[in-house]
């Protein structure tokens, strides 16, 4: 009833004013009616009195029974009016000269344009149509497909290009996920499988969360996904993206015989501080082929140099011939590698191996002793002769 009256007053004022609804006046008139005529009084809770309800820079506008956040330019709440305003960085979607990954230039410039729309669209609420996350996600998947096809036909790419690819995917997801409208979005193609879970609860969700696809399972908690509750922006997302054909994603710099035993996958969450998680995440990989080789859990590391598979912060907690479970203390792109560790041997085999090592070492030591002894003896003789010659020379 009250809402109808309010809307009527709003409509009336809109007719008399210059097109712009004068909400402030409507509110006063409405409140006046309420306090004078109504038998019951409803108290509007001013949500804007709660600290940081719109983020550090957002401006909170109180409405009857509601509120919305006005984000200054350079900030956005992705069109969700009651979410906190977060800072945008559209410059990270700038294409770089000399970039050679196919399809990436056009994809990045599209992201940048969408980012710029968000950057500007905030002062008076979402006036312009917002970019849709689903369309952008489809394009992201298409781009990674094209890239994997290219890798299959042209052999592998340099480590720095792989790093560039993974970085781009990470920053794309951070823009796309908040724009998705569904709770669960999944796209699967011949090369890529991506699933995104979004929650928009008022209070941060808690408890376990897992995502599964054909080749992998991710187990974590909403606490890990969100990180610091102070930074909760009104939504949380978790992404599992697996690349089915990145077998040639090798680091070209170091060890020989590195082969992926699983598909590679990127894990991304709304929390952006994920280099040292307080709680481990678990990844269950299905092996591409059943194998007795001990796989190594690795992630793509670009901290020191162009990029390598690194074991730091990831351990294998369970492994059989079909599956391996990795526990990791950070987020990134993960895979199983074979070729770092020795083959699993039976007890007897390793006994034989150690026997061989012992015999070989004994031989080395013996030959060393013999060589040294021979040198010692021969030097003593020659040294003695030389001394005599010297003495003879001096006498002359
Ligand atoms: C986003 O908006 C802010 C504030 O108007 C502006 O300073 C910044 O340059 C914009 N970003 C880009 C990439 O245009
Ligand atoms: C964003 O707004 C600024 C002024 O606030 C304007 O100069 C600029 O052209 C706008 N950018 C876009 C992409 O609309
Ligand atoms: C990606 O999109 C382009 C243009 O929309 C299309 O021609 C191409 O076939 C797509 N590639 C894949 C692998 O889906
Ligand atoms: C996916 O793979 C199947 C079987 O290999 C093939 O028939 C189909 O054309 C592929 N689809 C695309 C979009 O490449
Ligand atoms: C999405 O999740 C929220 C809880 O976070 C739930 O209330 C809502 O019904 C879900 N929507 C759909 C379409 O499943
Ligand atoms: C991951 O696995 C370890 C040991 O297997 C377990 O203690 C931990 O609770 C698991 N974490 C999650 C998020 O499921
Ligand atoms: C990142 O997370 C770690 C561990 O949870 C915490 O100690 C650190 O202060 C956080 N860093 C920032 C910049 O929030
Ligand atoms: C591995 O998979 C094969 C075939 O699916 C199955 O027969 C075997 O029991 C599995 N091994 C283990 C250790 O689960």
* Domains of the chain by residue range: 2-38, 47-76, 88-345
Write out pLDDT tens, residues 306-345. Answer: 888 889 999 999 999 999 999 999 999 999 988 665 443 3
Q: What's the 200 CA to ligand 5 centre distance in angstroms? A: 8
Query: What span, in angstroms and rounded, lies between the C-alpha atoms of 343 and 356?
Result: 17
Residue located nearest, by CA, to atom 1 of ligand 8: 322
Q: Of the ligands numbered here, which is closest to the C-alpha atom of 280?
A: 6
Residue located nearest, by CA, to atom 14 of ligand 1: 116
pTM for the structure as a whole: 0.74
Ligand 6 atom closest to the Cα of residue 282 is: 1
User: What letter does residue 123 receive in the DSSP assignment?
Assistant: B
Ligand 2 pocket mutation pick from 71, 119, 120, 129 by most atoms within 8 angstroms of CB: 120
Write out pLDDT tens, residues 134-158. Answer: 999 999 999 999 888 887 777 667 7
pLDDT band of residue 290 (cuts 50, 70, 90) is confident
Query: What span, in angstroms and rounded, lies between the C-alpha atoms of 113 and 325?
Result: 40
Q: Which residues have CB under 6 Å of ligand 6?
A: 219-221, 280-282, 317, 327
Q: Of the ligands numbered here, which is closest to the C-alpha atom of 236?
A: 5
Query: What span, in angstroms and rounded, lies between the C-alpha atoms of 275 and 123?
Result: 34
Residue located nearest, by CA, to atom 11 of ligand 7: 273
pLDDT band of residue 259 (cuts 50, 70, 90) is confident
Q: Where are the beta strands (DSSP E) in the chain?
A: 59-63, 66-70, 75-76, 86-87, 184-188, 192-199, 208-212, 216-221, 236-243, 259-260, 264-269, 281-286, 296-301, 308-310, 314-319, 323-328, 333-338
Least Cα distance to 249 among 118, 332, 160, 133 occurs for 160
Tell me what pLDDT residue 343 has: 40
Backbone angles phi, psi at 298, to 5 degrees: -135, 165
Residue located nearest, by CA, to atom 9 of ligand 1: 74
Q: Of the ligands numbered here, which is closest to the C-alpha atom of 181?
A: 5
Query: What span, in angstroms and rounded, lies between the C-alpha atoms of 183 and 178?
Result: 11
Q: What's the 71 CA to ligand 1 centre distance in angstroms? A: 13
pLDDT band of residue 36 (cuts 50, 70, 90) is very low
- 77 pLDDT above the threshold of 80: yes
Contact yes or no for 111/172 (Cβ under 8 A): yes
CATH of 88-345, one of 1.10.287.70, 2.60.120.260, 2.60.220.50, 1.20.1050.10: 2.60.220.50
State both tokens at 330.
């950070």
Radius of gyration (Cα) for the chain, nearest Å? 33
Query: What span, in angstroms and rounded, lies between the C-alpha atoms of 146 and 378?
Result: 71
- 24 pLDDT above the threshold of 50: no
- 108 pLDDT above the threshold of 50: yes
Ligand 8 atom closest to the Cα of residue 321 is: 13
Query: What span, in angstroms and rounded, lies between the C-alpha atoms of 63 and 3?
Result: 12
Contact yes or no for 138/186 (Cβ under 8 A): no
């Amino acid at each position: 009833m009250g809402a109808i009256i309010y809307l009527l007053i709003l409509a009336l004022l809109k007719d008399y004013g210059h097109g712009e609804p004068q909400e402030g006046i409507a509110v006063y008139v409405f409140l006046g009616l309420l306090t004078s005529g109504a038998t019951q009084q409803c108290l509007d809770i001013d949500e804007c009195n709660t600290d940081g309800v719109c983020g550090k820079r957002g401006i909170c506008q109180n409405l009857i029974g509601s509120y919305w956040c006005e984000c200054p330019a350079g900030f956005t709440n992705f069109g969700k009016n009651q979410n906190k305003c977060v800072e945008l960085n559209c410059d990270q979607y700038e294409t770089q000269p000399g970039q050679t990954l196919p399809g990436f230039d056009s994809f990045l410039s599209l992201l940048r344009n969408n980012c710029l729309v968000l950057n500007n669209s905030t002062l008076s609420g979402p006036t312009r149509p917002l970019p849709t996350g689903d369309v952008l996600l489809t394009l992201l998947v298409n781009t990674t497909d094209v890239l994997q096809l290219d890798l299959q036909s042209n052999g592998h790419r340099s480590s720095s290009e792989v790093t560039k690819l993974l970085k781009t995917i990470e920053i794309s997801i951070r823009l796309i996920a908040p724009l998705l409208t569904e709770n669960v979005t999944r796209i699967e193609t011949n090369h890529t499988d991506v699933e995104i879970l979004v929650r928009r609860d008022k209070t941060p969700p808690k408890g376990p969360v897992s995502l599964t696809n054909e080749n992998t399972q991710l187990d974590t908690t909403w606490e890990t996904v969100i990180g610091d509750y102070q930074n909760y922006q009104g939504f949380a997302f978790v992404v599992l993206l697996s690349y089915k054909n990145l077998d040639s994603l090798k680091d070209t710099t170091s060890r020989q015989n590195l082969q992926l035993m699983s598909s590679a996958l990127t894990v991304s969450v709304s929390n952006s501080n994920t280099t040292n998680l307080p709680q481990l995440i678990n990844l269950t990989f299905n092996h591409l082929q059943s194998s007795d080789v001990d796989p190594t859990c690795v992630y793509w590391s670009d901290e020191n140099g162009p990029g390598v598979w690194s074991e730091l912060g990831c351990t294998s907690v369970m492994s059989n011939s079909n599956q391996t479970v990795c526990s990791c203390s950070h987020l990134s792109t993960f895979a199983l590698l074979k070729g770092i560790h020795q083959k699993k041997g039976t007890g007897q085999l390793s006994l034989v191996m150690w026997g061989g090592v012992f015999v070989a070492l004994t031989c080395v030591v013996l030959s060393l002793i013999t060589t040294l002894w021979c040198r010692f003896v021969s030097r003593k003789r020659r040294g003695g002769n030389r001394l005599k010659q010297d003495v003879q020379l001096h006498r002359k």
